Amino acid sequence: MTHNNEKQEYTITVYTENQVGLLNRIAIIFSRRKINVESLNTSPSEVQGIHRFTIVVEESRDVVLKIVRQIEKQVEVLKAYFNTNDEIVWQELALYKVLSEEITEKVKVERLLREFGARAVAIRKDFIVFETTGHREETNKLMKALEPFGLVEFVRSARVAIIKESAGFHEKLKDFEKRQPGEEVIENEYLGKREAVFTM
């Protein structure tokens, strides 16, 4: 069992009406506490006009709880959640650029790529780019395995994550989509903006 002051990886999910300017304010919240952000992704959500931030940090539960409460105080934020890795389904995309002359005759490389579910997304005369998705440990493992075979570049995307138990908030998001001008304060209270933050 993890104690509240023990560090572990948390994924913070933030639903917001407007992402312009919010990214900077969220970054300040982390930098003031000297917390390193391991990964940050922003994308549309399943509801039109509502965006979703996915932020990965390695911190204690107590610290993450304080951060999430502070994020929720931002005007545009509808709701923020934090979850451990076993409470989410998540993936990261990785690209690997390998020199063609090093790899073309290596049967072992083909076996490696099959093992990691990788596929070629660009084939050029001098290099090939492979792509795979998975957890960080998996994409790192393939990077190490490809190093002896002419790996010249590696890049990994930010995390994308789905909360396993987030069905209830989807209905609240749809209610937000239907709101009328002037109802924002009422709706924010309805969404729990002034309630204690809770985990899924």
Least confident of 45-49, 111-115, 196-200: 196-200
What is the β-pairing status of strands 7-16 and 127-134?
Answer: unpaired
Q: Which residue has the tokens 């969404």?
A: 191
Find the mean pLDDT for residues 168-180. Answer: 66
Determine what percent of the chain is predicted with pLDDT higher than 90. Answer: 57
Q: How far is CA 176 from the centre of its chain?
A: 23
Least confident of 61-65, 106-110, 158-162, 195-199: 195-199
CATH 3.30.70.260 domain range(s) in the chain: 7-88+164-190
Least confident of 36-50, 130-144, 160-174: 160-174
Q: What residues have CB less than 8 Å from 106, skipping those under 6 apart? A: 149
pLDDT of 57 over the 90 cut: yes
Q: For residue 1, what pLDDT is reported?
A: 57
CB atoms closer than 10 angstroms to residue 51 = 19
Q: How far is CA 193 from the centre of its chain?
A: 22
CATH 3.30.70.1150 domain range(s) in the chain: 89-156
Confidence of residue 14 (pLDDT cuts 50, 70, 90): very high
Q: Which CATH class is domain 7-88+164-190?
A: alpha beta
Q: Retrieve residue 138's tokens.
A: 């998996």
Which stretches of the chain are assigned E, i.e. beta strand?
7-16, 37-44, 51-60, 77-84, 88-99, 119-123, 127-134, 151-156, 160-163
Q: For residue 65, what pLDDT is reported?
A: 96
Q: For residue 194, what pLDDT is reported?
A: 36
Q: What residues have CB less than 8 Å from 97, skipping those under 6 apart? A: 127, 128, 129, 151, 152, 153, 154
- What is the DSSP secondary structure assignment for residue 159, as one 8-state letter? P
The correct CATH number of 89-156 out of 3.40.50.300, 3.30.70.1150, 3.40.50.720, 3.30.565.10 is 3.30.70.1150
> Edge-to-edge strand order for the sheet containing 37-44?
37-44, 51-60, 7-16, 77-84
Give one DSSP letter per residue of 46-85, joined into a string: SSTT-EEEEEEEEEEHHHHHHHHHHHHTSTTEEEEEEEEG
Question: What whole-number distance in Å separates Cα of residue 145 and Cα of residue 139?
Answer: 10
Confidence of residue 185 (pLDDT cuts 50, 70, 90): very low
Tens of pLDDT, residues 72-100: 999 889 999 999 999 999 999 999 999 98
Tens of pLDDT, residues 94-152: 999 999 887 766 777 888 889 999 999 999 989 999 999 999 999 999 999 999 888 99
Spatial contact of 90 and 12, defined as CB atoms under 8 Å apart: no
